[in-house]
Amino acid sequence: MADLKYYDVILKPVITENSMSVLDEKKYTFIVHPEATKAQVKDAVEKMFAGAKVAAVNTMNYDGKPKRRGVHFGKTPKFKKAVVKLTADSKDIEIFQGM
């Protein structure tokens, strides 16, 4: 397991129609480090966003998709996505506000 600091765990937020539709349920979606655990994701969210209290974390691993350009074959990089559900009394995460 990697020795990750909390600021290395969350790479970027996911801004899609589906991830924006679950914001009223206080669910936020992030691309996270592929070796990050659920506990590390929870700690990172609570430390990076003041007032956020995490109720649950669901993670999904995605393999790279095969791609081809002419005769050359390759794959897109694999990544890990985390859906973080906040408690009812926690503050909203500001990065998603105004979108």
Question: Residue for token digits 């009394």?
Answer: 89
Give the DSSP H/E element, type plus range, for residue 48: helix 38-48
pLDDT band at 94 (very low <50, low <70, confident <90, very high): confident
Answer yes or no: is pLDDT of 98 > 90.
Answer: no
Phi, psi of 72 (to 5 degrees): -95, 130
Give the pLDDT confidence of 38-85 residue by residue, as tens digits.
999 999 999 999 999 999 999 999 999 999 999 999 999 999 999 999
Question: Residues of the chain with pLDDT > 90: what percent?
Answer: 84
Answer yes or no: is pLDDT of 87 > 90.
Answer: yes
